[in-house]
Chain A
């Protein structure tokens, strides 16, 4: 899939939203997940890697503002201007371990709700986007009848539909087949080409232009 074919993304480019962290310290019980963790994201993609249990998911939740650290701060900036918590919330689409798909709703209804949290969108737009990403055969199915990989695709498509500059993806490649992995990489490249920012956790480095990827390794 070429970048130009992804027309469901907004035509204008995204604002230059970046994140940095200073001196993060977080404990879970008597286990220290990270201590004095600092970084500044200068590139469009932040790849968080590390062994199982090293705190990748927790770090993503910290960056989103879902988890509060014992010490340190996370700063989101838009062209050097520091964003408030409220401003950050409107700029960030999160896809966690769970796909946030309600099992009793259809795929279309789930997308309508999930992307609707960010902006007003019509049924036609959802139809068009699902057709473009070859998910249109799923739109009328209940989310509980999808396979794990299909759920992941729908959840990632929700980020695309949200039209926000920052995507935070926890293990986007989990449960995806080879074509799915390629599809995710194409999404990322299209997002980056429009000036978007992506923070992802994954065990392998995403197969996109390495000059755009900054890697943050966590040790347990």
Chain B
């Protein structure tokens, strides 16, 4: 296995995913739309005064982002499992973990990144103090990368189960909770004008750990699911 075939494994999978996601924009837009709707529903379910909204803004945006990420991740391998492509990927001489990284990256580019870019708009609609926007975006950037990596493990483990949705949530939600806590707290602190560097550093650590280690766990989970 040389450098060239590593690069080929990555580009092959990335190009395939981006092409097919580009043609299925309906399923790509669903999590984003879901995110926007959840954020828009929060003011309706509580006292809609600007002061009140500002206090819940960071948690509302983060919970909406977490749920949208889960929605996007749950079916990550479903299509490939159903049409048999996953078997082909597992049987290829190209490393499966690398193919997993490429696939995950393509999905993050179309579902995670737009969420990060949209988040200031959501925060603005909930009257969050503008000084918190940068931290919100940075924490969501780190958070969405972690969520997509953790979600991939769950998606790979539950792909062969017909009604895997509930199991996916039970498996993945506990892993996502620390990310949620750190993310909301960091945003909260920053929007009050405090320094959130400590919490962001911890998010960086979680992000690095999950992004680097999860592809191996995901690849192993795929092999188990194909058995």
Q: Which residues of A contact B (CB under 8 A)?
A: 64-68, 86, 89-90, 92, 94, 96-105, 109, 113-114, 116-118, 120
Contact = CB atoms under 8 A, between A and B. Distances in A.
B33 to A, nearest CB: 20
B91 A65 contact: yes
A118 B84 contact: no
Q: For chain B, which range describes its interface: under 10, 10 to 19, 20 to 34, or 35 or more residues?
A: 20 to 34
A103 B23 CA distance: 10
B25 to A, nearest CB: 11
A97 B84 contact: yes
Interface stretch (B12-20, B64-72, B140-148): B12-20
Main secondary structure of the interface of B (DSSP, over half): helix
B192 interface: no
Interface of B: 8, 12, 15-16, 19-20, 23-24, 79-80, 82-85, 87-94, 226-227
Given A89-B93, A99-B83, A99-B84, A105 B227 contact: no
A66 B16 contact: no
A118 B20 contact: no
A120 B8 CA distance: 8
Contacts of A114: 85, 88
Given A113-B12, A117-B12, A120-B8, A101 B90 contact: no
Contact of A68 (B19, B94, B227): B227
Contacts of B12: 113, 116-117
B84 A66 contact: no
B20 A96 contact: no
Given A86-B93, A102-B85, 8 more contacts: A65-B91, A66-B91, A89-B92, A96-B87, A102-B20, A104-B24, A105-B20, A117-B88
Contacts of B92: 89-90, 117-118
B20, B79, B82 — which one has the most chain A CB atoms within 10 A of its CB? B20
Nearest to A87: B93
A98 B16 contact: no
A153 to B, nearest CB: 16
Contacts of A116: 8, 12
Contacts of A101: 83, 85
A168 B38 CA distance: 48
A116 B87 CA distance: 15
A214 to B, nearest CB: 23
Contact of A89 (B24, B80, B83, B91): B91
B131 to A, nearest CB: 43
